[in-house]
Amino acid sequence: MEINYDLIDTTGPAPEKEPLRQQYYILKCREILREKEKKLGRKLTFFDQTFGCQMNFKDSEKLNGILEEIGYVKAESEAADFVYYNTCTVRENANVRVYGRLGTLKTFKKKNPEMIIAMCGCMMQEPEEEEKVRKTFKFVDIVFGTHNIFKLAELLYECLSSKQRVFDVWEKTDQIIEDLPSDRKFGFKAGVNIMFGCNNFCSYCIVPYVRGRERSRKPEDIVAEVEKLAKEGVVEIMLLGQNVNSYGKTLDQPVSFAQLLTMVEKVEGIERIRFMTSHPKDLSDELIKVMAGSTKICRHLHLPVQSGSSRILKKMNRKYTKEQYLSLVEKLRDSVPDIAITTDIIVGFPGETEEDFQETLDVVRKAQYDSAFTFIYSKRSGTKAAEMPDQIPDEVVHERFDRLLKVVNEVATEQNKKLEGRVETVLAEEIDEKDSSMITGRLSNNSVVHFKADPSVIGKIVPVKLEEAKGFYYLGRMCENG
Ligand code: SAH
Ligand code: SF4
Ligand code: F3S
- The rounded Å distance from CA 350 to ligand 1 centre is 15
* 20-28 average pLDDT score: 95
Ligand 3 pocket, residue 56 CB under 6 Å = yes
Query: How do 82-87 and 116-121 pair as beta strands?
Result: parallel
- The rounded Å distance from CA 433 to ligand 1 centre is 29
Ligand 1 pocket, residue 91 CB under 6 Å = yes
Alpha helix (H) ranges present in 279-380?
285-292, 310-315, 322-335, 354-367
Q: What is the pLDDT of residue 2?
A: 64
Q: Which residues contact 93 (CB under 8 A, 6 or more apart)?
A: 378
- The rounded Å distance from CA 318 to ligand 2 centre is 9
Q: What is the pLDDT of residue 7?
A: 78
Confidence band for 79, pLDDT divided at 50, 70 and 90: very high
The ligand with the least distance to the CA atom of 373 is 1
Rounded Cα distance, 239 and 255, in Å: 15
Residue 200: CB atoms within 10 Å: 18
Ligand 1 atom with minimal separation from the 380 CA: 22
* Cα 408 to chain centroid, rounded: 23
Residues in the chain, overall count:
482
**Ligand 2, pocket residues at CB < 6 Å:** 198, 200-202, 205, 207-208, 242-243, 279
Residue closest to 148 by CA, chosen among 130, 181, 124, 116: 124
Residue closest to 149 by CA, chosen among 27, 48, 8, 238: 48
Using DSSP's 3-state secondary structure scheme, residue 220 falls into helix
Q: What is the pLDDT of residue 429?
A: 97
Confidence band for 97, pLDDT divided at 50, 70 and 90: confident
* Cα 373 to chain centroid, rounded: 14
* 230-239 average pLDDT score: 97
Nearest CA to ligand 3 atom 1: 88
Mean of pLDDT over the chain: 95
Residue pLDDT, tens place only, 364-377? 999 999 999 999 99
Nearest CA to ligand 1 atom 14: 344
Q: Which residues contact 441 (CB under 8 A, 6 or more apart)?
A: 426, 427, 428, 429, 448, 449, 451, 462, 464
Q: What is the Cα Rg of the chain in Å?
A: 24
* 329-351 average pLDDT score: 97
Phi-psi domain of 163 (left: phi exceeds 0; alpha: psi -120 through 50; beta: other): left
Helices 54-70, 152-162: axis angle to 10 degrees equals 50
Ligand 3 pocket, residue 210 CB under 6 Å = yes
Residue pLDDT, tens place only, 32-63? 999 999 999 999 999 999 999 999 999 999 99
Judged against a pLDDT cut of 90, whether residue 472 lies above it is answered with no
Nearest CA to ligand 2 atom 1: 205
Residue pLDDT, tens place only, 199-223? 999 999 999 999 999 999 999 999 9
Q: What is the pLDDT of residue 344?
A: 98
Judged against a pLDDT cut of 90, whether residue 482 lies above it is answered with no
Confidence band for 299, pLDDT divided at 50, 70 and 90: very high
Q: What is the pLDDT of residue 479?
A: 94
- The rounded Å distance from CA 348 to ligand 3 centre is 20
Ligand 1 atom with minimal separation from the 378 CA: 23
Lowest mean pLDDT among 3-7, 102-106, 273-277: 3-7
Nearest CA to ligand 2 atom 5: 200
Rounded Cα distance, 423 and 420, in Å: 9
Q: What is the pLDDT of residue 481?
A: 60
- The rounded Å distance from CA 447 to ligand 1 centre is 22
Q: What is the pLDDT of residue 9?
A: 87
Q: What is the pLDDT of residue 8?
A: 85
* 103-128 average pLDDT score: 94
Query: How do 448-452 and 236-240 pair as beta strands?
Result: unpaired
Residue closest to 181 by CA, chosen among 136, 150, 154, 219: 150
Ligand 1 pocket, residue 204 CB under 6 Å = yes
Ligand 3 pocket, residue 449 CB under 6 Å = no
What are the φ and ψ backbone dihedral angles of 239, each rounded to 5 degrees?
-80, 130
* 21-29 average pLDDT score: 96
Ligand 1 atom with minimal separation from the 278 CA: 8
Give the rounded percent of residues in the chain with a pLDDT score beyond 70: 99
Q: What is the pLDDT of residue 103?
A: 86
Q: Residue 109 carries which side chain, given as an amino acid letter?
A: K
Ligand 3 atom with minimal separation from the 123 CA: 4
Judged against a pLDDT cut of 60, whether residue 1 lies above it is answered with no
Judged against a pLDDT cut of 70, whether residue 480 lies above it is answered with yes
Using DSSP's 3-state secondary structure scheme, residue 461 falls into strand
Ligand 3 pocket, residue 53 CB under 6 Å = yes
- The rounded Å distance from CA 201 to ligand 2 centre is 6
Nearest CA to ligand 1 atom 15: 344
Ligand 1 pocket, residue 375 CB under 6 Å = yes
